[in-house]
Homo-oligomer: A and B are copies of this chain.
Amino acid sequence: MESIVEPLYRKLRQDIVECELTPGRAFSEAEFGRLYTASRTPVREACRRLEHEGLIRIIPFRGYMIAPLSVAEFHDLEEMQLIFEPEAAALAAERAKDEELEEMKKLGTYEYRVGDRSSYREFIQTNYQLHTLIAQSTRNKRLYDVVSNIHIRLMRFFYLGLPFESYGPALVAEHIRIVDAICDRDAAEARCRASEHIRMAIERSASLLMSAIRFGEAVFDANSSLDGTISNAHSHTRQT
């Protein structure tokens, strides 16, 4: 049933991904309990899940915070994409079901109106669906999980208004090339096109990144490094 945790989790995740909840914002279990009308236990459970996915940070005995966005994380995620997505495309070319191919074609041709904010947001969703559908078509659940998580984290940057504003047509063209290769069952071509796509995306975002990343209290923090030590939470956004 999961009548409380599951919807709460989804709502929280959505709010974080869409930057409705400011990256870096500090909060307590009780506070979210009030905000989302739930008791502490479900809030706690949902937050634990979100921490595991990298959307929330838990500071023991201190509280929680919406995971800040950092250049380091963005870089890591793009590097992950470069590793996984080309292989996913190649495997999808071999294993996708016909219905999945149909769905890909539909998603791949979605165009957004440059400058239209709501159309842009819809495009972010479509982009997510396309990439996860490709991952799903590999029939490898672990691969799907990884790709899905990477994209969910990436979407936060996109919702900040980050990278592919005004690159619409180029993006769509790249998507179509990937989908075409998959539909042709041409694994090598699919791998190549996907790799190209990610590389272009990285290049496009590189220049935009530095200027767009400063938002709210989100900082270029070194905290997402491997040792994962969390420094003093001085710079939390305080809410009245």
- Please give the residue numbers on chain A whose beta carbons come within 8 Å of chain B beta carbons, in ascending order: 1-2, 45, 48-49, 52, 54, 60-61, 76-77, 79-80, 83-84, 87, 91, 136, 139-144, 146, 150, 224-226, 228
Complex copy number for this chain: 2
Contacts of A1 in B (CB 8 A): 60-61
Contacts of A150 in B (CB 8 A): 142
Contacts of A52 in B (CB 8 A): 49, 52
Contacts of A224 in B (CB 8 A): 141
**Among B45, B76, B87, contact of A142 (Cβ-Cβ < 8 Å):** B76
Residue of B nearest to A149 (CB): B142
**Among B45, B77, B226, contact of A144 (Cβ-Cβ < 8 Å):** B226
Q: A80-B140, A136-B226, A146-B146 are in contact. List 15 more A-B contacts (CB 8 A).
A: A1-B60, A2-B60, A45-B45, A52-B52, A54-B142, A76-B140, A76-B141, A76-B143, A80-B142, A80-B143, A80-B146, A83-B84, A84-B84, A139-B225, A141-B228
Contacts of A228 in B (CB 8 A): 141
Q: Can you list 10 A-B contacts with CB-CB less than 8 angstroms, sorted by A residue number? A: A1-B60, A48-B48, A48-B49, A54-B142, A76-B140, A79-B91, A83-B83, A141-B225, A142-B150, A146-B146
Residue of B nearest to A136 (CB): B226
Contact at A87–B83, with CB atoms within 8 Å? yes
Contacts of A91 in B (CB 8 A): 79
Residue of B nearest to A88 (CB): B83
Contacts of A49 in B (CB 8 A): 48, 52
Closest chain-B Cβ to A147's Cβ sits at a distance in Å of 11
Residue of B nearest to A5 (CB): B48
